[in-house]
A and B are shown apart, each in its own frame.
Chain A
Amino acid sequence: MAVILDAGRRFVRWGGVAGAAERNGGAGRARAAGPAGPAEGGAGPDGLGTAIGRMGAASGGGTPRSAETVGTVPEPWSRTVTLLVRATGVAAVLGIAVDVWLGLAVTPPAKVMGNLVRLLYVHPALATVALYLAFGLAALNSLLWLWPRTRRPFFDRLAAASVQTGIVFLVLTIVTGSLWGRPTWGVFWTWDPLLTFTALLLLFFLGYLAVRKATTDPVKRARRAAVTCLLAFIDVPVVHFSVIWWRTLHQTPTLLEPASPKVGGIMLATMLLSFLAFTLLFVWMLAYGYRLRVLKDFAESSEVAAALAERTGEAEQEEMGWGMRPGQIERASERLLVGIAEPAVRVGDDKPVAQSAEGRPAHPPGEAVLVDASRMGGGQ
């Protein structure tokens, strides 16, 4: 944990571009483009900024200013943090390797469950990490983001990374649980309270990710994702009780629970090792999930910054002697946008192709065929 906290602190100090936008408190409504708030331009409702950014990149007209803004990719981790994260990864992989060796080769099969008992070294650890660590961490970070005093992009990114990693563990939990259930209970799935609960939790997680995908405005995304996480979190106890009562109050609990075996000695050690190894794996994946988000945010905001710099650069060039006044710059940028939208205009609207010099409709070749064909069809 210390690793990630350190990374977060460093990034907050570095002052990510999106971070600056969030601290300004603007809800992403476009403001004047300045070097202080390039992320806000990117928060436009329709991704216009991104489109312009792509055009700017394609035209290759890199002014010195855009090179300055886009040039350096931030490195969110110091050398120490990188080493610590790598050490965590190595420890996780080694731990899992030892766990596999102990679980498959060293530990004996159980009396009742036979070799199935070996799932004990995988499934409970996965489930614990997914249900408690991932979801708990996501809820905690969402709360910290929503609290105005502790609002940092760090918490939003960590919550997102936590949910994303949690989904991997949750799906693995369900898959290993089904593999265990088939030989033990005779079915892959049963409407056992814990299973139902886990399935609903997966749906909450997927909803959370869907919310994050549904907007490009970083502040809106963080705000709504945090609320989604907390709204799901307060539902957890209610869902828990409802599914338990759903089974027990209505039907007799017919489940053949796996006879809880007495676990001890090498088996216990293997199981405990699995908890440690999977927790380390989670932390490792979480750290990279977080890092990915920092870089993604930077990529998004620098794309927009480049586009804005492009526009400002053009304006400065015009002022210096190309004879374009500020009003003309707006028109020039409009022309730029019309350039993007041109094919749509031509298909949907017949004005540009209505009449040629001879007074006949001057369709572009492809469209002329289409229109004529439909007319012929109508006439016959």
Chain B
Amino acid sequence: MWRDAALIAAKDLRIELRSRVLLNQLAPMAMLMLVLFAFALGPGRGALVPAAPGLFWTGTLFSALLAVQRSWAVEPVEGAHDPLHLAGMDSSGIFFGKLAAVLAELLTLEVLLGIGVVVLFGARVASPAELLLSTLAGTVGLAAVGVLYGALASGMHTKETLFPLLFLPVASPVLVAGTRAWQVALGTAHMGAGPWMTLLVVFAALYLSAGVLLYGPLEGTE
């Protein structure tokens, strides 16, 4: 399973390295989002600093939307995975492979967004460990949900509009919990980050298991 996952992830990342869509389009897009947020709430830091955690996670959510759509756009034909199944590849392997590629891309975007939040919005990091852990847990959850719904919407009519409608409500707990955890990490809220970290980890675990269980039936290979 892990070998299959590595193969799929390597394939997706190789396509990305050669096409540079993420680097040339998604990364500027993420930066653009930060600028737009500043236009909406700025220019003073009074509103931007308290809102920074929420803006970071909103930016991440929308970047995830684009990254996942890109991840399914590189599988051009519907049923492109059928030969993989025929070749004996594991469904969970394909799921984890797509997930790993999306995760790598999202983490890259988040580094950029994080730097942007600190530099452009003037946020200060109070506890980096909580920041990193919550970001990692939240992003794994987002990538898992994203890949699942990406597979679900692929090959449907109106998949471009269907995917956000399905993905965003289900991913909303990550926005809630991630924002709160970041507020703690950036020192703008005084409360324990414990429950939020738990929620992020539970969310990620839930959808990783759902992926293992449902990805096969979703592609019609049970």
- A residues contacting B by CB (< 8 A) are 27, 45, 146, 148, 200, 203-204, 206-207, 210-211, 214-215, 220, 223-224, 227-228, 230-232, 234-235, 238-239, 241-243, 245-246, 249-250
**B214 CB contacts on chain A under 8 angstroms:** 146, 227, 230-231
Residue of A nearest to B191 (CB): A249
Question: Are B156 and A249 in touch, CB under 8 angstroms?
Answer: no
Question: Roughly how many angstroms separate A214 CA and B149 CA in the complex, as a whole number?
Answer: 14
B17 at interface, CB cutoff 8 A: no
Partner of B166, one of A207, A234, A243, A245: A207
What CA separation (Å) do A320 and B195 show in the bound complex? 78
In the complex, residue of chain A having the shortest beta-carbon distance to the beta carbon of B161: A210
Which residues 175-222 of B have a CB within 8 angstroms of A?
176-177, 180, 189, 191, 195-196, 199, 202-203, 206-207, 210, 214, 217-218, 220, 222
Query: Main SS of chain A's interface residues?
Result: helix
A250 close to B191 (CB less than 8 A): yes
Contacts A146-B217, A204-B170, A211-B152: A238 and B203 contacting too (C-beta < 8 A)? Answer: yes
**In the complex, B169 has a CB within 8 A of chain A:** yes
Give 1 or 0 for each of B115-159: 1 = CB within 8 Å of chain A CB.
000000000000000000000000000000100110011011111
- What total of chain B residues lie within 8 Å of the partner, measured CB to CB? 36
Chain A residues whose CB sits within 8 angstroms of the CB of B177 once the complex forms: 242
Instruction: Evaluate whether A203 and B162 lie within 8 angstroms (CB atoms) in the complex, with A211-B152, A246-B176, A250-B180 already known.
Output: no
A235 engages B173 (CB within 8 Å): yes
* B111 interface hit (Cβ, 8 Å): no
Distance in angstroms between the alpha carbons of A322 and B22 in the assembled complex: 60
Q: Which of B78, B169, B206, B210 has the most CB of A within 10 A?
A: B169
The residue of chain B having its C-beta at the shortest distance from the C-beta of A238 within the complex is: B173
A246 to B179, CA, bound (A): 10
Contact A231 B220 (CB under 8 A): no
Q: Is the CB of A238 within 8 A of B202?
A: yes
Chain A CB within 8 A of B172 CB:
yes
Chain B residues, CB < 8 A from A239: 172-173
Asked if B165 CB lies within 8 Å of chain A CBs, one says yes
- Cα(A215)–Cα(B203), bound, Å: 29
